[in-house]
Structure 1
Amino acid sequence: MTRSVVVTGIGAVAPGAVGREAYWELLAAGRTATRRISLFDAGAFRSRIAAEVDFDPRACGLTSAEIRRMDRAAQFAVVSAREAVADSGLDLAAGDPARLGVSIGSAVGCTMGLEQEYAVLSDDGRNWLVDHSYGVPHLYGYMVPSTLAVEVAWTAGAEGPTALISTGCTSGLDAVGHAVELIREGSTDVMVAGATDAPLSPITSACFDAIKATSPNNDDPEHASRPFDATRDGFVLGEGAAVLVLEEKEAAQRRGARVYAEITGFASRSNAFHMTGLKPDGREMAEAIRVAMDQARIDPSDVDYINAHGSGTKQNDRHETAAFIRALGERAYQVPVSSIKSMIGHSLGAIGSLEVAACALALQRQVVPPTANLHQRDPECDLDYVPLTAREHRMDSVLSVGSGFGGFQSAMLLARV
């Protein structure tokens, strides 16, 4: 018999909000955390804005040795994991470490550490041949993205399956989905799962500038991320992490755990079409939604809220609007849809786990977070996008979707327990 999986712990490091409760308060208030980039001199770039985390690693409990060893993305993941484990109430040391696993997603790995070290080794790019002896002792760890999952496994004492999932901007959803499958099949009893990315560096800005994907609204960064708005002009980069503790449902109930939500369905598809382009009909995302609903044994009438990918590009917003209508039919016009990227930007691989965390909190509190900055809806995006203000709403089942470069399309369903 397939085992059910529930969320019993949540940890978050997000722009404008470090910690789970601060994160939810930001979302419920519809407060934006986008601003001019301060982590490096962005003056030469087309887009000079981002959603940065105000992060003090020492205040978050990291030691000097951990700070020296870990890239910013790893620090985010470890801090989030520690919060999630504490929130779950589990005594991980008392359990079988071989039955505890880790699944962490990341799109771009240790970007900041790698770029900083390359600048040092190459004398800011002046030298083609670099002297490795100037590198930090843990440079190899920056090169291997799986070290992000390893750091979380060390933190949790996990000796079960440990994986780094990198599927672009769906990495956070897919990492949680992978963890759910491991529990369902009986390979583990508990998973520490989520995603992290800290991509705010010159190389990332240059890459997105080149394809003009990010917003150039540098004079008004607070209102630059405008999913589904007719005046939107690209997404806003972000950073952050969210980690969940997932448990087999019956075991969680036996120990009297507080349960945020049950994860009832997950599916992923690829459009096999283009590295950055999307087909306008949204067929692959719609198929992922349909399979996830079949897994959850629900139909469109049971979906009470959709947490959209909602990046704020015209191509994406229209693509997923078409996918919702294709998958849900008339129900798509009755269900509130919102994008939290309007508030915390797009943290690439991390955003999917931040969105799953937001869905679990929304289910627990029966409040739909808003789409900030939505003042003039795109006529081609004709659903209820919950503009500007959070909304109390009865929810038993919510859908979260992700869309990533490479054609990745993922869908996850969470239910109230």
Structure 2
Amino acid sequence: MSGRRVVVTGMEVLAPGGVGTDAFWSLLSEGRTATRGITFFDPGQFRSRVAAEIDFDPYAHGLTPHEVRRMDRAAQFAVVAARGAVADSGLDTEALDPYRIGVTIGSAVGATMSLDEDYRAVSDGGRLDLVDHAYADPFFYNHFVPSSFAAEVARAVGAQGPSSVVSAGCTSGLDSVGYAVDLIREGAADVMVAGATDAPISPITMACFDAIKATTPRHDDPEHASRPFDGTRNGFVLGEGAAVFVLEELESARRRGARVHAEIAGYATRSNAYHMTGLRPDGAEMSQAITVALDEARMNPTAVDYINAHGSGTKQNDRHETAAFKRSLGDHAYRTPVSSIKSMVGHSLGAIGSIEIAASVLAIRHNVVPPTANLHTPDPECDLDYVPLTARDQLVDTVLTVGSGFGGFQSAMVLARPERTAA
């Protein structure tokens, strides 16, 4: 492994409950929820009618009419977050070699909202078997090809180095950042603008999750519908959002006097090669990813101060990762606080991994463990410390954040204060 240590020097978050990193942390630290009845379309025909939506005005956040016209909502999120992350980092990108600045953006479902709208237009609301291409959006190709997300971010920040989209389902937001770390370690880039975005709250997405009964039907109480690790949970709440980071090599960041938010000390991903949506109950693959990530960070399991769980709010997932934590951390799992921010901001598919990285960084900054909202009735099979309802003040030097996705993908990342892991 390369001796180059990679750190976060800039970040921006767009999440339900407020646009911007400060608004995001305010929501989490206060244990408030941003889940509500769907307003983007009439959800009356669906089993699940709740979501975690963002009140987002692209013009208020600096996008031009041209940008708004050509970009899907998820691309808009990514560009706004990328510009914010670069501003937060203090980097003068125009003074850098553009070929040494790269971009990696994660997304599970790409330009879903625009594609849904385009299909309704060309099919006349689904009535035409033979669609009429004359009604297609002139930027349809941008919506059809997810690589346009990375291209838009690269254009926005002036990056001409490695540029790609990572799409690995719900672990995309972890994997895109993990890949960016590898590019810096191997010397392919000096700066990476990395993160993830998704805006999936559309009729087609709701229909897909309705079909497999993955989302909650608790539409009569949307604020309390997302209940990870609770015995009364009955599915996740769909969300949307983005988080983007500026990553640099530690010594380079220190030389320019940058504020270092956290070090990305270890990362690993595995697959269970088992089932498209099913999970093995023993959590072996997630446990393996955790173990390898800790090994890369050169840390023992006892170094973990807080676990930011995937915590989707499905019984299968919550029991699976509980088993994984016990398997990888041993007895220390019982002494380590665990929480799921999906209880507050929903599950934004490919974006959530990056949003949870942001939550982990902020937990280190503030020495606060965000809570698991709506956890009133513990599941006996989930018997760890899930920090119910209220945030907890405690020293947080090292955070383990994990993700689990359809297809059997399991990813883990270790974030730490640089001083904690100094050689």
Q: Normalised by the size of structure 1, how large is the TM-score?
A: 0.99
How many Å separate the matches in 1 of 2:359 and 2:100? 27
Q: Which residue of 1 aligns with 2:25?
A: 24
Q: Which residue of 2 aligns with 1:345?
A: 346
Q: Secondary structure at the match of 2:201?
A: coil
Q: Which residue of 2 aligns with 1:268?
A: 269
- What amino acid maps onto 2:108 in structure 1? A
- What amino acid maps onto 1:23 in structure 2? F
Q: Give the C-alpha shift of residue 337 in structure 1.
A: 0.3
Q: Secondary structure at the match of 2:310?
A: coil
Q: Which residue of 1 aligns with 2:356?
A: 355
| 1:376 correspondence with 2:339 | no
Q: Which runs of 5+ in 2 are unaligned?
A: 419-423
Q: How does 1:190-269 map to 2 (within 5 A)?
A: 190-269=191-270
Stretches (4+) displaced over 2 A: none
How many Å separate the matches in 1 of 2:185 and 2:366? 26
Output one character per residue of 1:195-252: Cα deviation in whole Å (capped at 9) or x when no partner: 0000000000000000000000000000000000000010000000000000111000
Q: Which residue of 1 aligns with 2:14?
A: 13
| 1:392 correspondence with 2:393 | yes
Q: Secondary structure at the match of 1:298?
A: coil
Q: Secondary structure at the match of 1:385?
A: coil
Q: Secondary structure at the match of 1:292?
A: helix
How many Å separate the matches in 1 of 2:396 and 2:44? 45
| 1:301 correspondence with 2:302 | yes
Q: Which residue of 1 aligns with 2:284?
A: 283
Q: Which residue of 1 aligns with 2:127?
A: 126
How many Å separate the matches in 2 of 1:274 and 1:130? 34
- What amino acid maps onto 1:231 in structure 2? T
Q: State whether residues 305 and 336 of structure 1, in contact with CA within 8 Å, keep that contact through their aligned partners in structure 2.
A: yes
Q: CA RMSD in A?
A: 0.6
Q: Which residue of 2 aligns with 1:319?
A: 320
How many Å separate the matches in 1 of 2:135 and 2:12? 35
How many Å separate the matches in 1 of 2:381 and 2:131? 51
Q: Give the C-alpha shift of residue 303 in structure 1.
A: 0.5
Q: Which residue of 1 aligns with 2:147?
A: 146
Q: Which residue of 2 aligns with 1:410?
A: 411
Q: Normalised by the size of structure 2, how large is the TM-score?
A: 0.98
| 1:41 correspondence with 2:42 | yes
Q: Which residue of 2 aligns with 1:366?
A: 367
Q: Which residue of 2 aligns with 1:98?
A: 99
How many Å separate the matches in 1 of 2:140 and 2:188? 33
- What amino acid maps onto 1:154 in structure 2? R
Output one character per residue of 1:280-306: Cα deviation in whole Å (capped at 9) or x when no partner: 000000000000000000011101000
Q: Secondary structure at the match of 2:239?
A: coil
Q: How does 1:14-93 map to 2 (within 5 A)?
A: 14-93=15-94
How many Å separate the matches in 2 of 1:153 and 1:404? 27
How many Å separate the matches in 2 of 1:262 and 1:126? 53
How many Å separate the matches in 1 of 2:117 and 2:137? 10
Q: Secondary structure at the match of 2:238?
A: coil
Q: How many positions carry a matched residue from both structures?
A: 417
Output one character per residue of 1:70-98: Cα deviation in whole Å (capped at 9) or x when no partner: 00000000011111000000001100000
Q: State whether residues 307 and 399 of structure 1, in contact with CA within 8 Å, keep that contact through their aligned partners in structure 2.
A: yes
How many Å separate the matches in 2 of 1:100 and 1:213? 39
Q: Secondary structure at the match of 1:204?
A: helix
Output one character per residue of 1:161-188: Cα deviation in whole Å (capped at 9) or x when no partner: 0010000000000000000000011110
Output one character per residue of 1:149-171: Cα deviation in whole Å (capped at 9) or x when no partner: 11101001100000100000000
- What amino acid maps onto 2:268 in structure 1? A
Q: Secondary structure at the match of 2:267?
A: strand
How many Å separate the matches in 2 of 1:116 and 1:53? 19
Q: Give the C-alpha shift of residue 130 in structure 1.
A: 1.5
- What amino acid maps onto 1:162 in structure 2? S
How many Å separate the matches in 2 of 1:294 and 1:87? 31
Q: Which residue of 1 aligns with 2:189?
A: 188
Q: State whether residues 229 and 375 of structure 1, in contact with CA within 8 Å, keep that contact through their aligned partners in structure 2.
A: yes
Q: Which residue of 2 aligns with 1:165?
A: 166
Q: State whether residues 2 and 185 of structure 1, in contact with CA within 8 Å, keep that contact through their aligned partners in structure 2.
A: no
How many Å separate the matches in 2 of 1:43 and 1:34? 17
Q: Which runs of 5+ in 1 are unaligned?
A: none
How many Å separate the matches in 2 of 1:273 and 1:137? 41
Q: Give the C-alpha shift of residue 135 in structure 1.
A: 1.4
- Higher mean Cα deviation, 28-37 or 129-138? 129-138
Q: Which residue of 2 aligns with 1:108?
A: 109
How many Å separate the matches in 2 of 1:395 and 1:416? 9
Q: Give the C-alpha shift of residue 132 in structure 1.
A: 1.4
How many Å separate the matches in 2 of 1:293 and 1:12? 26
Q: Give the C-alpha shift of residue 2 in structure 1.
A: 2.4
Q: Give the C-alpha shift of residue 69 in structure 1.
A: 0.4
Q: Secondary structure at the match of 2:67?
A: helix
Q: Give the C-alpha shift of residue 396 in structure 1.
A: 1.4
Q: State whether residues 355 and 400 of structure 1, in contact with CA within 8 Å, keep that contact through their aligned partners in structure 2.
A: yes
